[in-house]
Structure 1
Amino acid sequence: MPKFLIVNSDDFGISPGVNRGILEAHHNGIVTSTTTMVNMPAAAEGIEKAHQSAPKLGLGLHFNLSFGAPVSAPEEVPSLVTEDGTFVSDYPQLMEKMAHFDPAEVERELNAQFLRFIRLAGTPPDHIDSHHGITYFHPAGLNTMLELAKEYHLPIRRLARPEPIDGSEQPASAEHTLTNELTAIIEKYGQPRQPDRLLDLIFDFETGDRLEPLKAGLKNLPEGYSELLVHVGYAEGLTEAYTTQREEELTAITDPSLKAIIESEGIELITFAELPL
């Protein structure tokens, strides 16, 4: 079987600098797809520029319950936000707060984000996934995501932890914990349209070279359909922890050697829309 690869850069819309970096990585590198945080101020401008300059870039929706403010009015989703009307970003605090999310409010906010994407883009997203993976391990989030995927015939990011392709073990923090309730939801809808595997080769809060791990991963890419998760962009204007690391990822993902490897390995770059039905 041939090797198909989606290279998806998360967080489109989080800032103008990240938007610029993702578009640059599409034009000059190997990024084929991105997912949009429609609750962020730079989302509308990002989608407009993508339509104008990058019509072949896949545009997905990055469901977000952990950064910025909700699309819904804060008083409509009080269990999801702090007193100042914003989501909780600190991970330990987020896990504590998530235990008290009102399921109806989760459903309301995710549907509001989905409809906002349609208003901004003019079409539904070509796939859906989630910032920090929140919708994958909250029952109401997972149910809403799978319901929308079914209704709109959309692919989603794979329902699994990122897979190593060099024989090493992924850290435990990378794994989505599937409780009995989450498993039952997946069984209700059946396996959605998704890649065979999710690869996370270069995300790292530590600074350092990211090109060699990326090259090694491409050379060891299995047959079938894979998604490579990246976070490229420029650091200016960012208020979250992953800033200059995005610039390091951008440098790696636009290195000319990658396209030569992709050609020599017979890898076909695709978007989520090209996954088989």
Structure 2
Amino acid sequence: MRDHAGRRKGKEQVKLLVQSDDYGITRGTARGTIRAVQYGPVRNTGLFANMPWAEEVTEWIRPFFEHIAFGIDLNMVNGPSVLGYREAPALCHEDGTFLSIKENRQLDNAENGNDHIDSEQLYREFRAQIERFIAIAGRLPDYVHPHAYQTGKTEAVIRRLAEEYRIPYSMDFAKLPDAVMPSMGWYTFGTMEQQLQEDPLGYLLEDRTGYLKHEYGYLITHCGELDSDTLHLPFNICRLRDLEALTDPRLKRWIDHNRIELITFRDIRNQI
């Protein structure tokens, strides 16, 4: 049942899964995500296992393993390939760095169904990223999550690996009853100046996604502190804006006032 404002009545709590993507894409994003875990509602984050500093940033977050779901963001557009050019030439440049999102999109055309990906090379690369995660973290990822460039082929590869490793696939959150998926409607995907105008806190406090009207909600953010590597990403200032919003005391009061329960993928792994 719902009240006149559309909020759900009764004793059931809204169960909100708060995720901060891109852990370790830079050291700055790792530091920001940890702050959002310590002082905010983030309980889920995924490692960029292909990055040279993946082992370093995993040690930073290891003390929080019992309190969060530490997953993996399977990535084919940022940083170096784990396999390298010799084994995955369709995915990367000769120096081993991945093709960018723009470069991948330019390869998509009508002849290949707007999906040029070599599925077998991508499978081997993503599998190598999962194996590197296991070697670094000493455990399986708590979930797998896609990063940025997504097509039917990338989706199929991720699902194949999720099934093989018996790991939850983040997008299967939609299978939960009465679930609302992420909207990320506050992002401008624009210049630094435009990103400064983003208002994630207002978006959340006004509940523009409608979390309070559902039993399960999924919130994706991109928290980070700014360092030189982060500033070179197109998605940069917005990470600081997300971190500011998620660590703002007003958000904590909103969560407490609405009796929202913060959950992880470990809590729902048997339901999706």
Q: Residue 33 of structure 1 contacts residue 59 of structure 1 at CA under 8 Å; is this kept in 2?
A: yes
* 1:240 aligns with one of 229, 233, 238: 233
TM-score, scaled to structure 2: 0.81
* 1:224 aligns with one of 205, 215, 238: 215
- For residues 177 and 37 of structure 2, the distance between their equivalents in structure 1, rounded to whole angstroms, comes to 22
* 1:114 aligns with one of 130, 140, 144: 130
Matched, 1:76 2:87: yes
- For residues 192 and 41 of structure 1, the distance between their equivalents in structure 2, rounded to whole angstroms, comes to 35
Larger Rg: 2
* 1:275 aligns with one of 248, 262, 268: 268
* 1:153 aligns with one of 166, 184, 202: 166
- For residues 66 and 57 of structure 1, the distance between their equivalents in structure 2, rounded to whole angstroms, comes to 26
Deviates more, 1:114-123 or 1:205-214: 205-214
* 2:140 aligns with one of 115, 124, 128: 124
1:250 matched residue in structure 2: 243
- For residues 89 and 128 of structure 1, the distance between their equivalents in structure 2, rounded to whole angstroms, comes to 21
Deviation at 1:146, TM superposition (A): 1.4
- For residues 193 and 212 of structure 1, the distance between their equivalents in structure 2, rounded to whole angstroms, comes to 27
- For residues 68 and 200 of structure 2, the distance between their equivalents in structure 1, rounded to whole angstroms, comes to 23
Aligned with 1:113: secondary structure?
Answer: helix
Q: Residue 235 of structure 1 contacts residue 247 of structure 1 at CA under 8 Å; is this kept in 2?
A: yes
Return closer, same or farther for 1:194/1:102 CA change in 2, 3 Å cut-off: farther
* 2:73 aligns with one of 57, 62, 81: 62
Return closer, same or farther for 1:150/1:74 CA change in 2, 3 Å cut-off: same
Q: Residue 232 of structure 1 contacts residue 246 of structure 1 at CA under 8 Å; is this kept in 2?
A: yes
2:28 matched residue in structure 1: 17
Deviation at 1:253, TM superposition (A): 0.8
Deviation at 1:54, TM superposition (A): 5.5
Return closer, same or farther for 1:54/1:255 CA change in 2, 3 Å cut-off: farther
Deviation at 1:219, TM superposition (A): 8.8
1:198 matched residue in structure 2: 181
Unaligned runs of 5+ in 1: 161-190
2:152 matched residue in structure 1: 138
Return closer, same or farther for 1:204/1:32 CA change in 2, 3 Å cut-off: farther
Matched, 1:94 2:107: no
- For residues 59 and 206 of structure 2, the distance between their equivalents in structure 1, rounded to whole angstroms, comes to 35
- For residues 4 and 72 of structure 1, the distance between their equivalents in structure 2, rounded to whole angstroms, comes to 39
Q: Residue 158 of structure 1 contacts residue 197 of structure 1 at CA under 8 Å; is this kept in 2?
A: no
CA root-mean-square deviation: 2.4
- For residues 203 and 60 of structure 1, the distance between their equivalents in structure 2, rounded to whole angstroms, comes to 23
Matched residue count: 243
Whichever residue aligns with residue 179 of structure 2, its letter is D
Return closer, same or farther for 1:218/1:50 CA change in 2, 3 Å cut-off: farther
Whichever residue aligns with residue 274 of structure 1, its letter is D
- For residues 154 and 194 of structure 1, the distance between their equivalents in structure 2, rounded to whole angstroms, comes to 20
> Which digits, 9 at most, give the CA deviation of each residue in 1:62-107, with x for residues without a partner?
000111111112210001112332112243x222336433221011
Matched, 1:260 2:253: yes
Return closer, same or farther for 1:109/1:145 CA change in 2, 3 Å cut-off: same
Deviation at 1:228, TM superposition (A): 0.3
- For residues 256 and 90 of structure 1, the distance between their equivalents in structure 2, rounded to whole angstroms, comes to 36
TM-score, scaled to structure 1: 0.80
Q: Residue 201 of structure 1 contacts residue 214 of structure 1 at CA under 8 Å; is this kept in 2?
A: no
Matched, 1:215 2:205: yes
- For residues 276 and 59 of structure 1, the distance between their equivalents in structure 2, rounded to whole angstroms, comes to 13
- For residues 123 and 157 of structure 1, the distance between their equivalents in structure 2, rounded to whole angstroms, comes to 18
Whichever residue aligns with residue 266 of structure 2, its letter is A
2:9 matched residue in structure 1: none
Return closer, same or farther for 1:71/1:197 CA change in 2, 3 Å cut-off: farther
Whichever residue aligns with residue 242 of structure 2, its letter is E
Aligned with 1:80: secondary structure?
Answer: coil
Q: Give 4+ residue runs of structure 1 displaced > 6 Å after superposition.
A: 191-195
